[in-house]
Amino acid sequence: MEQEQVILRIDGITKQFHQTPKPAVANVSFSLLQGDLLGLLGPSGCGKTTLLRLIAGFERPQSGRIEIAGKTVAGGHWIPPEQRSVGMVFQDYALFPHLTVAENIGFGLRYSKKCSDRVDKLTELVGLAGLEKRYPHELSGGQQQRVALARALAPEPALILLDEPLSNLDVQVRLRLREELREILKATGISGVFVTHDQEEALAIADQVAVMRQGKIEQLGSPEDVYTHPQTRFVAEFVTRANFLPAKRIGQLWETEIGCFKVKKESADKEVGDLMIREEDLILQRADNAPVIIHTRRFLGREYRYCLQTSSGKRLHARTSAEIVLPVGTRVELAVAEQAIRFFPHKDISDNLVMNSCG
Amino acid sequence: MQISRGITAHKPPLFLLITGAITAVAIVIPLTYLVIRTAGVGGEELADLLLRPRTVTVLINSAGMAAGVTLFSALIAIPLAFLTVRTDLPWRRFWLIVTTLPLAVPSYVGSFALIAAFGPRGSLLQLLLEPLGVQELPSIYGWFGTILAITLFTYPYILLSVRAGLHGIDPAMEEAARSLGYSKRATFFRVLLPQLRPSIVAGSLLVALYALRDFGTPSLMRFDAFTRVIFLQYRSSFNRNLAAALALVLVVLVLGILWLENKARSRARYYSRRASRRASQVKLGYWKLPALLFCTAITLIGLVLPVGVALFWLIRGLTVGGGDAVNLAQDMVQPALNSIWASGLAAIAATICALPVAILAVRFPSRITAIIERCSYIGFGLPGIVVALSLVFLGANYLPWIYQTVPILVFAYLVLFLPQSVGTVRSSLLQVNPQLEESAQVLGRTPWQTLREITLPLVRPGILSGSMLVFLTAIKELPATLLLAPIGFSTLATKIWTATENVAFSDAAAAALTMLLVSFGTTLFMLSQEQ
């Protein structure tokens, strides 16, 4: 927290394409501090890539303002992409096939005198030393990704944008590059915005996560905050991947088919709704006459993931440490740490029906 | 490609192997004979033939003409490709089609149109200017006319290639350059153009190949390229060895270009990537008018001129020339029937020969079947005049009973057009899952029964379009027909050629129109096959 300087300010940006009835980006506002890494997280078609392209200058917004490093670049004053001092890493990397690795990395440095020094430094930084003379088609996917990153970083942009930077890679490479990506960006001190549909990736890399849905930001906050305190049901489903249990108010308590729970924060006026319980917060205890039965068990290495079936037929998921092993078919009683439960209003009518049938 | 690996373990059925081998041997005959005959000339005489000033001049003419044609074609095609793919040019779809269609005009029909329109004497323009006292126009013959004609009717090769290249470039490339500080103009020159280079090179080599092999235009434009000189040498029959030697030099030249083309294509593979999005359009603004004028001018001379000139001379022949419609129609019927007869036989022969070759290559890949397939492609490297010449020698010396008969003409067509047939059958075979054939065999069918009951019905559409293609290409063929057809056996192609050579434009008009109709049909047919 040396200096709280805003590097990117988005102010009421709206982008509507001709072919679609709804705007791709609808009145979005936020700002990003110097040195921070923001993850735009959302399902496909939520407008996250459009927002990124608006920042880069490849799309023009209908209304709103974008400011990069204190300079207005869209809204009132239009600055084309090449003058925005923004680096971009594309989903398919967009490496120039007719240029070598070194030429690709140096492409944005044509006016710089220390071009070759900088290229050497970056090649080193992204771990590609020795491959300078290769052509893109001679590289693996992970290596291409590194070239794309180095190329975007070379001109020392004020801001770097990454469009699904890891989505085209194998799982192994993806996990390794995920760590490296954050380290490299932090080492250069350049602020960044990256788009992803993978919640784990967003939580692992970003300083700030913005969850998007239908062109709007549903929640913006630190990864911990978004994960533990989802503000909307969508965020809870998409990021936290929690269980939802229909519940009915009985005095101070909420009654569900697996028991009654206290909820700390809630909307007081509601009589029915859903309780959100994260998979890792469910505690299983063997009990011979309990209503819940273990349906399947999957070993995930460090933990077990159980699928549980309640008497009404609803399925719940629970993760436990690998030490506790309960066979399939075991009847269990469920307990939850109270502060981990959150209340959400019902999503739609069909849920109501389910609840009624549960009694 | 993966599915073709299904039954590699099996040995090919004998009947396929035998028919395939016979085809391969037959296809190799003309080239082999040419080599043997040239070798028989003797080293000293051969060196003398190849080093005489005349040969060197012809070499310079051919190479210079091909280079000029390629350069001008690129200058026409690259802007056209950009205009029709990447800009907001009005009526883009229309221009897209009409700028491709000149490809369909056979070069000798195009040359006929140019000569009949702008020739020094008796042409459309000279007739128009005669009242002003103009008796003779500056000559269109020679370098100018040859380069003009071939350029006008081959630039679409570059156009198609560059267009495909433009479609294949990921729009993110341009965006990446923009985000790295390059303006639109700089992006064009530093990113777009370099990436198009493989497409431009590939298209240019095709154009050069066509220019070198073309016989119709140099002969009608009286330009001493290899093809015309070989023909004259043969006709004067003064020194046939020289004709053979020249033909071999031409083959070497053509093979060199084919080799370059193959190299360029394999390199282009690294570049091509499917583009997921459409690139943004360039707004032409004030440039709209010049762009439209450019497209219009090209269409006028490449497309409207041939059709218009042929119509003009047809009508003039009917009115001024004193000919009547019935006479004209009778004049046309025999050549048209001859064309259809010879080309139809060629189509059938090519299809029958292509089947075993393609099946062997796709289903039973081995060294032998690969050699058989390569042999079937030899015709692609041989100019029509070379095949014709070789068969003339062969026929006159050893097979007088077949010399100047329809069978030897059909055989020449077979050598020339078998590659097309094998290509189409091959690609439709690749789409048939070999497991279908395997299940038929497991259910008790012999290889021959499997072929008849499973494979053939499945590839029938490919076979049909392949034979259609050969038929339509053979109709347009000129030099082989000219040299090998029986005496008095005139086809549409030879009729146009002879009449234009004799400056009897009205005689050529009806045949030229028919030929244009066939050609446009072929091209539209091929385009519809691609989609």
Beta-carbon contacts of B153 under 8 Å, excluding residues fewer than 6 positions away, are: B102, B103, B105, B106, B107, B110, B302
Amino acid residing at B488 = G
Q: Which of B163, B164, B275 has the alpha carbon at shortest distance from A90?
A: B275
Indicate the average pLDDT of chain B.
84
- Given a cut of 90, whether residue A147 has pLDDT beyond it is yes
Q: How confident is the model at residue B518, as a pLDDT?
A: 80
Interchain proximity A94–B176, CB inside 8 Å: yes
Task: State residue A267's pLDDT score.
Answer: 60
Characterize the bridge pairing of strands A86-89 and A191-196. Answer: unpaired
The reply to whether B114 falls in a domain is no
Q: Is the pLDDT of residue B384 over 70?
A: yes
pLDDT at B269 over 70: no
> Which are the contacts of B127, defined by CB distance < 8 A and separation ≥ 6?
none
d(CA B67, CA B64): 5
Confidence of residue B273 (pLDDT cuts 50, 70, 90): low
Q: How many domains does chain B have?
A: 1
Query: Is pLDDT of B148 > 80?
Result: yes
Given this model, what pLDDT does residue A351 score?
41
What is the pLDDT at residue B145? 92
pLDDT(A243) > 70:
yes
- The helix (run of H) or strand (run of E) holding residue A68 is strand A63-68
Residue B126 covered by a domain: no
Whether B498 maps to a domain, the answer reads no
Q: Cα separation of A31 and A9, whole Å?
A: 4
CATH number of the domain that A277 lies in?
A: 2.40.50.140
Q: CATH code at A30? A: 3.40.50.300
Q: Domain for residue A119, yes or no?
A: no
Average pLDDT, chain A: 86
Does residue B35 sit within a domain? yes
Q: Is B273 on the interface with A (CB under 8 A)?
A: yes
Domain boundary (A235, A252, A273) is at A235
Asked, for residue B306, whether it belongs to a domain, the answer is no
- B4-30 pLDDT per residue, tens: 444 444 677 788 888 898 888 888 888
A276 and A216 share one domain: no
Q: Do A98 and B273 touch (CB under 8 A)?
A: no
- Residue range A102-119: average pLDDT? 81
Q: Does residue A126 belong to any structural domain of this protein?
A: no
Report chain B residues whose CB lies below 8 A from the CB of A92: 170, 172, 273, 276
Whether the pLDDT of residue A347 is over 70: the answer is: no
Question: Which chain A residues contact residue B177 at CB under 8 A?
Answer: 96, 107
Measured distance CA(B271)–CA(B246) in Å, rounded: 38
Is residue B271 within 8 angstroms of chain A, CB to CB?
yes
- Taking residue A2's Cβ as centre, other Cβ atoms within 10 Å add up to 6
Q: What is the mean pLDDT of residues A177-182?
A: 89
More reliable by pLDDT, B50 or A39: A39
Select the more confidently predicted residue: A146 or B519: A146
Instruction: Examine the domain organization and report whether A247 and A349 are in the same domain.
Output: yes
Asked if the structure places residue B345 within a domain, the reply is yes
Residue B9, pLDDT score: 46
Our count of domains for chain A comes to 2
DSSP B301: I
The band of A1, judged by pLDDT with boundaries at 50, 70 and 90, is very low
A189 in the same domain as A251: no
**Pair A170, A282 in one domain:** no
Binned at pLDDT 50, 70 and 90, residue A349 comes out as very low
Alpha-carbon distance of A157 to A217, in angstroms, equals 26
Same domain, A196 and A294: no
Is residue A227 located within the same domain as residue A312? no
User: Using the beta-carbon criterion (under 8 Å), do A92 and B270 form an inter-chain contact?
Assistant: no
A324 against B423, higher pLDDT: B423
Say whether pLDDT at B174 is over 70. Answer: yes
Half-sphere exposure at residue B9, Cβ-oriented, CA atoms within 13 angstroms: 2
Phi first, then psi, for residue A329 (nearest 5°) are 100, -10
What is the domain extent for residue A217?
6-85+157-235
Chain A residues with beta carbon closer than 8 angstroms to that of B279:
none
User: Average pLDDT, stretch B390-407?
Assistant: 84
Token duo for residue B201: 């090179």
pLDDT at B154 (0 to 100): 92
Residue B8, pLDDT score: 44
Phi, psi of A256 (to 5 degrees): -125, 175
**Looking at the domain assignment, is residue A64 inside a domain?**
yes
Alpha carbon distance B16, A106 (integer Å): 57
Q: Are residues A73 and A187 in the same domain?
A: yes
What is the model's pLDDT at position B155?
A: 94
Nearest to A69 by CA among A45, A33, A99: A33
Looking at the predicted complex, does its ipTM rise above 0.95?
A: no
pLDDT one-digit tens code per residue, A246-305:
888 887 788 888 888 877 765 667 778 888 888 888 888 888 888 888 999 888 888 888
- Pairwise CA distance, residues A82 & B300, whole Å: 41
Tell me the angle at which helices B43-51 and B53-86 cross, rounded to the nearest 10 degrees: 60
Structural domain includes residue A342: yes
CA nearest neighbour of A9 among A59, A62, A58, A75: A75
When pLDDT is cut at 50, 70 and 90, the band that residue B277 belongs to is low
The three-state secondary structure class of A356 is helix
Pair A205, A187 in one domain: yes
Is B188 touching A (CB cutoff 8 A)?
no
Is pLDDT of A113 > 50? yes
How many other CB atoms are there within 10 angstroms of residue B40's CB atom? 10
- Rounded to whole angstroms, the Cα distance separating B492 from B432 reads 39
Tell me whether residues B179 and A98 touch, CB distance under 8 A.
no
The mean per-residue pLDDT over the stretch A3-28 comes to: 88
Residue B364: the pLDDT is 83
Structure confidence by residue, pLDDT tens digits, A51-84: 999 999 888 999 999 999 989 999 888 998 888 8
Q: Is residue B288 part of a domain?
A: no
- Is some CB atom of chain A closer than 8 A to the CB atom of B267? no
Q: How confident is residue A151, by pLDDT bands cut at 50, 70 and 90?
A: very high
Q: Is residue A354 part of a domain?
A: yes
CATH number, residue B341: 1.10.3720.10
Note whether A261 and A346 are same-domain residues. Answer: yes
- Whether residue B358 lies inside any domain: the answer is yes
Question: A186 in a domain, yes or no?
Answer: yes
A295 in Cβ contact with A253 (< 8 Å): no
Same domain, A217 and A269: no
Task: Please report which confidence band the pLDDT of residue B71 belongs to, taking 50, 70 and 90 as the band edges.
Answer: very high
Q: pTM surpassing 0.80?
A: no
In contact, A209 and A229? CB cutoff 8 Å:
no
Decide if A91 and B179 are in contact by the 8 Å CB cutoff: no
Give the distance from residue B492's alpha carbon to the nearest chain A alpha carbon, in angstroms.
48
Q: What's the pLDDT tens digit per position in B287-326?
A: 899 999 999 999 999 889 999 988 888 888 877 756 666 7
Report the residue of A50, A60, A91, A96 to disrupt the B interface, i.e. the one with the largest count of B CBs within 10 Å. A96
Do A214 and A249 lie in one domain? The reply is no
Same domain, A272 and A333: yes
Q: Could you tell me the residue range of the domain that residue B9 belongs to?
A: 1-48+323-490
